[in-house]
Amino acid sequence: MLRRGLNRLLGGDERRVDSRTIYVGHRPCPANEAFIPPKFCDNRIVSSKYTVWNFLPKNLFEQFRRIANFYFLIIFLVQVIVDTPTSPVTSGLPLFFVITVTAIKQGYEDWLRHKADNEVNKYPVTVLEDGRRIRKESEKIKVGDVLEVEEDETFPCDLILLQSSRDDGTCFVTTASLDGESNHKTHYIVPDTEKDVESLNATIECEQPQPDLYKFVGRMHIYKNNQEPSVRSLGPENLLLKGATLKNTQQICGVAVYTGMETKMALNYQGKSQKRSVVEKSINAFLLVYLCILVSKALVCTTLKYVWQNKPGQDEPWYNEKTQKEKDTNMYLKMFTDFLSFMVLFNFIIPVSMYVTVEMQKFLGSFFITWDKDFFDNEIKEGALVNTSDLNEELGQVDYIFTDKTGTLTQNNMEFIECCIDGFQYKYEDTSSELDGFCVTDGPTSKLQQKAGREREELFLRAICLCHTVQVKEPTEQGESQQDGRIDQVDGLGVDEDMLHPQQEQRGFIASSPDEVALVKGAMKYGFTFLGLESKTMKILNRNNDVEMYQLLHVLSFDPVRRRMSVIVRSKSGDILLFCKGADSSIFPRVRQEEVERIRRHVERSATDGYRTLCVAFKYLSAEEYAWTDEGLREARLALQDREEKLMEIYNQVETGMSLIGATAVEDRLQEEAAETMEALQGAGMKIWVLTGDKMETAKSTCYACRLFQRSTELLELTVRTLQDPVKRREDRLHDLLSEYHKKAVQDAPPVKGGITRSWSSSGHDYGFIIDGATLSLVLNSSSESSSNSYKDLFLQICQNCTAVLCCRMAPLQKAQIVKMVKNSKGSPITLSIGDGANDVSMILEAHVGIGIKGKEGRQAVRNSDYAIPKLKHLKKLLLAHGHLYYVRIAHLVQYFFYKNLCFILPQFLYQFFCGYSQQPLYDAAYLTMYNICFTSMPILAYSLLEQHICIEDLLENATIYREIAKNAMLRWRPFLYWTLLGVFHGLVFFFGVRLLFSNPALQDNGQVFGNWSYGTIVFTILVFTVTLKLALDTRHWTWINHFVIWGSLAFYVFFSFFWGGIIWPFLQQQRLYFVFANMLSSVSAWLVIILLILLSLLPEILFGVLRKPRGPHTRQKLAHSSAGGLQSPRSSARPLLMRTFSDESNTVI
């Protein structure tokens, strides 16, 4: 880095900075020059976070950055330094427990990362050195090494392809782990390299490592026998990326150009930004409230202590005279230490163990998604996957869903449906009647001419057979015999023989896009079969069973900006033709305009029917035109700087003045249960936006098929077409349209009650909104900042009042911009993005929750998602059932933790008023330490994992139940206030109920009285039993685990109390509870008060549950079922949402 900076500063060779030189096989070129091997990074991959040496300090530093942990560390240090009423163990042990559990979890996760790194780094590879094949570990590969890779092996680093076992100098790879594309891609060897790689003397000059998977610029200098070196261009087609897999090729040799953390795969690995759930934000807000309560308690007690001590005789009674040291202590320092002592005494109101319980609940709860058998897909033999367990509860709070179309709403399984040649429609019918090949015209024509001319038909089919990058799979012997049989089935020509009969055996094709395979197979139906590419010669079998051969001169590759691809071929007769296919928007401006109209009607009708359309054009090139194009392409491909721009310029110049032949229509069918899923999610109150790169007509028909748009829905369109105005500027027209739509959808719309959506009421008018990528750029990036913000606000308000929004012709970055815009809008709605391809990764990472679909476009979306599911239909259960239950469980867990700790500390605070504010603890140190760790932790953990307050079937049938917990309903201030008041009520009952008992001096048979430790133990016993039984009352779904932990926790408390007080422990300086518990239970009065106070505390809860009538639509439904003879659970009594932290009804399974 320093050397690079000095080079720039001193005017060094710019090319040395921006490029690297690699010596193939580490051989100097030319051979007589001195060879100084350049230094590059090794091939080790490091994705782990810690090492053995830095784990402890780094992990502790990260954990103590969390406010609660740091707070308890301070409390622990205060207990160690200052003379406090409780032992440092009381706060040190829970803190140590939390830190240890978290460290073990994070250490285990990092160990898995180390294990995965080692698998990659120790993977054996074959390196060619001095004519020998040497097996090495992958991490020992150096830049310049020549490697040998066999079929189905993964490339260990980024390689330039030098040699292939295939005769045509190609190899096939899959890059599913990189860019999500699961289809085979074709790569080519560098032209004119030696057959024997060992004798190759060459250097490679290429760009420095950069993350773009589809971009690579370089050139190879080949040295032969003291001749001038020949130069060959290198591009992405020559580069084999680390992580890709070799397919359908026995063996290849390549030279390493990028290794280790400089490979494109490593540069593309971006750590996902930490996503925080809305529950975590609520916890922090509640924590601040309880911190204020804690400080207030400490201030009140400190103030009252000094007020009380100022009374005569109270400061220094005769039985407790001060020492000289105490008299000499500064008063303000004494007040400060007293304040700290009270803080320590009351610090248990802040539940440190809640964090570890929440982490365990999230981690263990995520297994229920992976274990769900309903998520298992028989096609791919996989189920759901959880990549991030921190967002489980967020699945129950989703407001907006952003979904991709192709592969998400649809299957990404392309099937050729029809084509149009010169305005005549050709639709394949699987019959042998006279309708085979019959054409339905798009306009009024003479009945005599119902088809295009034969010559145009064959030209169109040749274009489809030649304009692609499809490769034919190498057939086995059995496959060859089948192939011969298939060729024999080709029929002759005639009115009813325009198309082939369906083949008994399908031909195997390899392509980078399913569209291309569908088109090649479509041409087969009409009698033209692509036989393959051999040594730059493309072979096709025509209708007459004759093999036609074309020399492939150039491929003008497809890219998302041009939205088209072309091939230049030479026929046997010497004619040079250019065939081009692409989107109508990119083809129509480049052909003769008189040919456009008749094809446009067919394209628009096909798009309306939901088909994906492509237009096909051709052009004859003269010898001079081709010579100029050939020279321009060769020069552009050798350029190291701006290669893409130079190529694009040549492409655009040659792809003009073409003749339009026709168009194709390919169907991409809807996913299984796509419409039902979308309807259910809309019924649950979620707004659905479809973000797609496809054209508007196709996407619109998909939205209708998925029931996002109804026939009664009024569509508000904001596209390039609607912005066209001969008089006004585009920005003025945009402002007018936005204002008009805003008035219609927002200002004139009747007020809608919260949660009501289209599926609930037929009153009111439904609107759907459609926008394209170009118009969205205008909305987001207006020339003036003020108008841009106003456009954005208007756009958002309109969209929020529409039942569904369709954004078409979207670039991946625009998808992320839309998600970010909605995410940051007023009210901060929770967003969810779902997609299946590499182009969906940006929006998946941007949304609060990202869902990947394990589709046909690879696993890039899955790897970057928080959750992955096999099919779109699984999203319904993931949100309506799992999401709902996760949120209810964790909301109850959080509120319950604050409640039980308030119950715990309030009697301790009240006790100070009766002990002269002397900081005397009410509970023994063992109880203080064990309360949150052992006595009350397991029941709430089991509840938060297993509770089903409403059975899953009801949650799926009644999507509207999802709305009851929307907008973080159960962690708002009102339910928080209820739980806080409940904790105060129970704390008062515990303390003053026992104090009432102690007003009777004789509590034991022998006339002796109980002491202060008996007082605290009785209060603590009532506390443990009450908070545990409160949870039992709230439980609606009982399992053996719930029974075990609830009754087991109570039994453990009793056993521990007997055990702790029944033995003299040698390590204790004073044993406060020696036989206190056993002695307490010998008193009938103590038994009576314990039972009475527990019942008194829980009585309002029990009465409210018994007397309150059930409410809600799903309750009425259940009661209807019950009256019809069905059985209803006796535990299904309704409770108000704010009183219990979940919905009223429950279907309990015991």
Residues designated catalytic: 404
Confirm if 854 and 380 have CB atoms less than 8 A apart.
yes
Helices (H), 868-916: 874-877, 884-911
How far apart CA 918 and CA 910 sit, in angstroms, is 12
Print burial letters for 1074-1111: b (CB count within 10 Å at least 16), e (below 16): bebbebbbebebbeebbeebbebbbeebeeebeeeeee
Q: Say whether 616 sits in a helix, a strand or coil.
A: strand
Exposed, middle or buried by CB within 10 Å (0-12, 13-18, 19+), for 935?
buried
Q: 278-309 and 67-81 are packed helices; what angle lies between their axes, rounded to 10 degrees?
A: 30
Kindly report the number of other CB atoms within 10 A of residue 603's CB atom: 25
Closest CA to 248 of 522, 470, 43: 470
Task: Please give the angle made by the CA atoms of 706, 710 and 711, to the nearest 5 degrees.
Answer: 130
Confirm if 561 and 552 have CB atoms less than 8 A apart.
no
- CA 4 to chain centroid: 38
Bridge partners (DSSP) of residue 134 are 127
How far apart CA 981 and CA 895 sit, in angstroms, is 12
What's the token pair of residue 360?
């365990």
Print burial letters for 45-57: b (CB count within 10 Å at least 16), e (below 16): beebbbeeeebee
Kindly report the number of other CB atoms within 10 A of residue 1150's CB atom: 11
Which DSSP state fits 1005?
Answer: T
Q: What residues have CB less than 8 Å from 119, skipping those under 6 apart?
A: none
How far apart CA 833 and CA 816 sit, in angstroms, is 9
User: Half-sphere exposure of 855 toward its Cβ, with a 13 Å CA cutoff?
Assistant: 31
Using only the alpha carbons of the chain, give its radius of gyration: 38
How is 27-79 classified by DSSP, letter by letter? --SSTTS---PPP---S-----S--TTTHHHHHHHHHTTSHHHHHHHHHHHHH
Which segments within 377-492 are labelled E, that is strand?
385-386, 400-403, 410-421, 424-427, 439-441, 471-472
Element (H, E) at 136: strand 132-137
Confirm if 685 and 962 have CB atoms less than 8 A apart.
yes
